[in-house]
Structures are given as structure tokens and as C-alpha cells.
Amino acid sequence: MSHEWWRTAAIYQVYPRSFADGNGDGIGDLAGIADRLPYLRALGVDAIWFSPWYPSPMADAGYDIADHRDIDPAFGTLSQAEELIARAHALDLRIIVDVVPNHCSDRHPWFREAVAAAPGSAARELFWIRDGRGPDGDLPPNNWRSIFGGPAWTRLPDGQWYLHLFAPEQPDLNWGNPKVREEFEDILRFWFDRGVDGVRIDSASVVAKDPGLADFDPEAPPSPHPYDDRDEVHDIYRAWRAVADGYPRRRALIGEVWLPDPVRFARYLSPDELHTAFNFDFLGCAWEAGALRRCIDATLATHAPVGAPATWVLANHDVTRTVTRYGRTDTTFDHAGRRLRHGSPSDLALGTRRARAAALLSLALPGSVYLYQGEELGLWEVEDLPDALRQDPIFSRTGGADPGRDGCRVPLPWSGQQPPFGFSPHGATGRPWLPQPDAWRDLTVQAQDGAPGSMLELYRAALRLRRQLSGPGAGALRWLDAPREVLAFIRGDDVACVVNLSAAPVRLPEHRAVVLASGPLDGDRLPTDTSVWLRVPGLPTGD
């Protein structure tokens, strides 16, 4: 891969808790991941992004970090992480780690010190700690709500309040304080020095706050917003870019930026800031030709002026699994709608067919592509987890109204006929931290390995061809004329991707060969909810 590997890479997200359990306690770990690196190599991805693996009380599954320079004992040790990075590099796999700048754990030494210190002390200045309102200060300092539900403020024993945009166990850091900036630049160096090739920046746009902490109406937020997408945030990432650029082998900064305004979004991708950011518009887009085409065009138009590569994301650890989403009448995703859609009927066979077609679509688009573990197996959202086992703070903080994200975090099925499906080694004492559906026996890696027509083999073939062909992943996109509800475009010299989202089969365009299809073709016709990659005539074949 070129030194600018993030421009076209296929990046696989590992959610360490649920990937593979090496020591049999029912929780995924680094030993389990190390064992499965050859699986990822053979799948054909270029890089692995690890969701947080740091010491954490796990109030938000590791996004509440108590020590940014170590590994949680449930996952392993720092030397195991170093070894994992080296082994991945030996397999030509790049490594991305998660960096969470907005908040830390309430068990982080800084917050413990702040709690123990007096109001107004320097230790408290690292967070947003304020007196309350009302005669006794028993009302929160402002009306902000936590993104996970409930108020964004929690009271300390001495009566002051601290801000947490997420769970109370995740106090927000004060990025107006130079010590916070220095600390995070040092954390970046810590991981870059260990060979990490890139960082994924959690909640990247909400890091800077208006020091006035004024109330606001979320239905009509003022501009600038008191905490989202404030201009100051760009100084932070310019400084991070300087850190990344200080390394001879290029390191990538990847932003988790949820912003509806494409112009504001693109500012994060200025040449002196982040290299790429997740495309949440695509992730939430309906399975509908017009909507997808508009999203693709808008994405390319947003990225072109800043020279940043687009990214294509169908799923991650925060959203409903694709198979379930595409099997519903409403095929969009948004966080606010999760509670409404949860449990609404989903035709999983239909969802799987569409997920296969969507895989070939996203892998054909120009830029980098993200895969969330289990996507390559066609796993569905586990919607019927017992409430007592749900661990996502969204579930508890909304009083159960929002099921939260546990359903997409169920441990992977690797082999065998019953749980734990090889997730834990034979004879393990612990059960998987969330129960796996019995029906996943048909979706294990073992069951799909070498099985013609399996989701796993589709992903393997697509990823292999994506590297070989001159089209997918690189080169511009050119739309082809196509019937209504059909997406057809050409990539590179001679590879076309056609996706049929209409209700009836459509005739394939003129072609020299079928390279790969997401499902059986009907003679020279492409069935509904099916994608195909074609070699098209007129230009050299390259083989």
C-alpha cells in the first residue's frame, strides 16, 4: 500500500470485548485477537481499528478511560499490545487505536484528585466543575442534557457539579486548559512511538465548550453551539496533525464527526487537520437508490475541495447491525430513532440479501471503507437480550426506553454447534459476556469458510478483488445511465458496479465478464437487491 494508506484502506473494527476470548473468562482479549490475526489477514483487510483497550471501569465499555497508557487487565498487558502491533505489522496490517479526548473515567487519577481538591483548585480546572444554580446551588449549572439521557451534570459531595456529556462516569475534560492539551499530545506520541499507524478520535466535534456554559434550546441551538463543532476544536486537531506529521512513517488521524452540515464537516479534513472522518450519512442512509446516489454524490462533493478521501461505513459498535436494519420497512438509522425501531419486524433473509449488495456497493466506492466485526459474517442485531444482561448505559439512563447498543456487541461466533461457538477456548469457565443466539451456528466462521455463497466468502472475494482491480477503492467514479432505482457506475478503467434496488430484475449493461455478484444472477439479468461488479468493454482488461 502507498504511504497514504488511509486513502483506500479497508479497515476492520475490532471491538476487543467481543472478538475472541483467549483465556476463557467470557471476555474477548488480546490473546484471542493475536490468535485470529491470520483470519484478518486472509479476510483481506489492510488495517485494524481497536475500540478502547485501556484500563477502564467499563461504565461505557471502555470509552471511560482510567489510564491512557496501559491495557485493561481483562484484555491483557501493554507488552501483549506491543507484540500484537508487531505481529500485525509483520502481516502487513496497520493498527489504529481509539483516542477519547472529550472525557475520561471518573476513576482517572485526575478526576479523583479533582474530587478530593477544593473548589477553585487547579485540579478542578482540568474538568468542568461549577457551583449549581438556585439559592442552595442544588440545581445544575445549566440545562444541558447527557447524550445518553438524563442531565449532563452530577453533583459532587461538596455541592459543586461536574459536566458529563455522556455517562456520569465520564467527566468532560476542559480543553481550555493547556495541561489537557499537552497530556493528549503526549498520549498520541506514546502510541505512535509503539508503532500505531493511526488514531480514531472519539466524539471529535464536542470536545471544546463555551466557557460561559450558557443554557440552550436543543431544538434551536445557537450558533456557535455551546459544545458542538466550536471553532476552537480545530486548533486542537491542527496541533495533533503536527504531532502525527512529526513521524517519518505517516500516521493517520480519523475523526468521529457527526455533523449534518457538509461544509462544517469538511473543515475537519483541511490539509492541516484530520486525514479522514467517518461517513455517518452513508451509514444512516435508506436502502433506496435515490437516497444512496444523493449521499454518494454529496460525499464526493464534500471531500473533493479539501483533497481528503471519502470513507464508507455501514456499521459500527454504536448502531443497529445492517442485516436487521435493511430487513425493516424503515431502512435508515439514527440514534434518536433506535428506540422506535427496536423490535419492529425485520425480514432477516431480505436484510441479508441487501447487506450483501451493500457490501459490494461500499467496497466499490472511491476512498477507504470500514467493516465492523461480524459484518463479514452477516450477523444480525440481537434484539432479545434479557434486560438484566444489558450493559450499555444508554439502556439504564433512559429507563429502558432505548435498548442501547448491546445488540450489536454480542461476541462473535467462530466455530462449533453451540455457544460459545469457539469465542472462548474449549473448557472455558466463563460464558460469553452477552449470550449468542443458537441460530448463529450457521454463521460461524467455520460454517462459512469455503462455503460458496456465504457472506464471509463474498467479503473475502470482494476485498481481494478490490486490491487487484484498477477500479474499486481508487480512481474517480463515473455514473452510467441506468434504469430507475438502479445504481450503476464505473471505476478506474474498466470495472463497473451495478446495484439493483428496484422491485424487478434489470438487464445487465454490456460487459466482458462478471467479476463478482452479491447473489445469483438471472441469466443476463440482475435480480432485486443484488449488486454485481462487471468488467466493461472498450478499455484494457489489465490481466
Q: Which residues bind ligand NOJ (CB under 6 A)?
A: 60, 63, 100, 166, 202-203, 256, 317-318
Give the nearest distance from C-beta 28 to Ca ion in angstroms.
6
Amino acid identity, position 508? L
Grid cell in block for residue 150: 438524563
- The verdict on 77 binding Ca ion (CB under 5 A) reads no
The percent helix, strand, coil of the chain (3-state, each to 5) is 30, 15, 55
Nearer Cβ to ligand NOJ (296/319): 319
The residues, any chain, with a CB within 8 Å of residue 347's CB and separated by 6 or more, are: 327, 328
**What does 29 bind: ligand NOJ, Ca ion, none (CB cut-off 5 to 8 Å by kind)?**
Ca ion
202 binds, among Ca ion, ligand NOJ, none (CB under 5 to 8 A by kind): ligand NOJ
How many residues lie near Ca ion (CB under 5 A)? 5
Closest distance of CB 378 from ligand NOJ, Å: 22
Instruction: Classify burial at 452, counting beta carbons within 10 Å of its beta carbon; exposed 0-12, middle 13-18, buried 19 or more.
Output: exposed
Q: 155 by DSSP, 3-state: which?
A: strand
Between residues 409 and 535, which has the closer beta carbon with respect to Ca ion? Answer: 409
Cβ neighbors of 388 (< 8 A, separation 6 or more) are none
Q: Least Å distance between CB 43 and Ca ion?
A: 22
Q: Which listed option, ligand NOJ, Ca ion, none, makes contact with residue 275 (CB within 5 to 8 Å by class)? A: none
Q: Which is nearer to Ca ion, 329 or 429 (CB)?
A: 429
Question: Is the CB of 21 or the CB of 281 nearer to Ca ion?
Answer: 21
Given the C-alpha cell 449534518, which residue does it identify?
Answer: 260
The rounded distance, in Å, linking the Cα atoms of 362 and 313 is 8
Nearer to Ca ion, 331 or 424 (CB): 424
Cβ of residue 194: shortest distance to ligand NOJ, in angstroms? Answer: 22
* φ/ψ (deg, to 5) at 309: -75, 145
* Residue 27 contact among ligand NOJ, Ca ion, none, beta carbon within 5 to 8 Å by kind: Ca ion
As given in the structure block, the three cell numbers for residue 124 are 478542578
DSSP 174-187: -TTSHHHHHHHHHH
Among 11, 20, 27, 308, binds Ca ion (CB under 5 A): 27
**Closest-CB residue for ligand NOJ?**
63
Of these, 9, 11, 29, 103, which contacts Ca ion (CB under 5 A)? Answer: 29
Q: Quickly tell me which residue has 462473535 as its cell.
A: 412
Q: How far is the CB of 98 from ligand NOJ (least distance, A)?
A: 8
- Please tell me whether residue 383 binds Ca ion under the rule CB under 5 A: no
C-beta neighbour count of 176 within 10 angstroms: 14
> Which is closer to ligand NOJ, CB of 236 or CB of 487?
236
Given 6, 21, 209, 397, the residue binding Ca ion (CB under 5 A) = 21
| 295 contacts 304 by C-beta, under 8 angstroms | no
67 three-class SS: coil
What DSSP string describes 477-511? Answer: EEE----TTEEEEEETTTEEEEEE-SSS-EEPPS-
How far is 319 from 146, CA to CA, in rounded Å?
18
Q: Where are the alpha helices (DSSP H) in 70-177?
A: 78-90, 109-116
> If contact means CB under 5 to 8 A according to the sort of partner, which of Ca ion, ligand NOJ, none does residue 25 touch?
Ca ion
Q: Quote the least distance from Cβ 94 to ligand NOJ, whole Å.
A: 20
Cα–Cα nearest to 494, from 509, 507, 505: 509
Tell me which residues are annotated as active site.
202, 256
Residue 23 in contact with Ca ion, rule: CB under 5 A: yes
64 near Ca ion, rule: CB under 5 A: no
- What minimum distance in Å lies between the beta carbon of 21 and Ca ion? 4
Residue 21 touches which member of ligand NOJ, Ca ion, none, C-beta under 5-8 Å by kind? Ca ion
Question: Given the complex with ligand NOJ, which of 256 and 273 has the nearer CB atom?
Answer: 256
CA distance 87 to 83: 6
Interface positions with Ca ion (CB under 5 A): 21, 23, 25, 27, 29
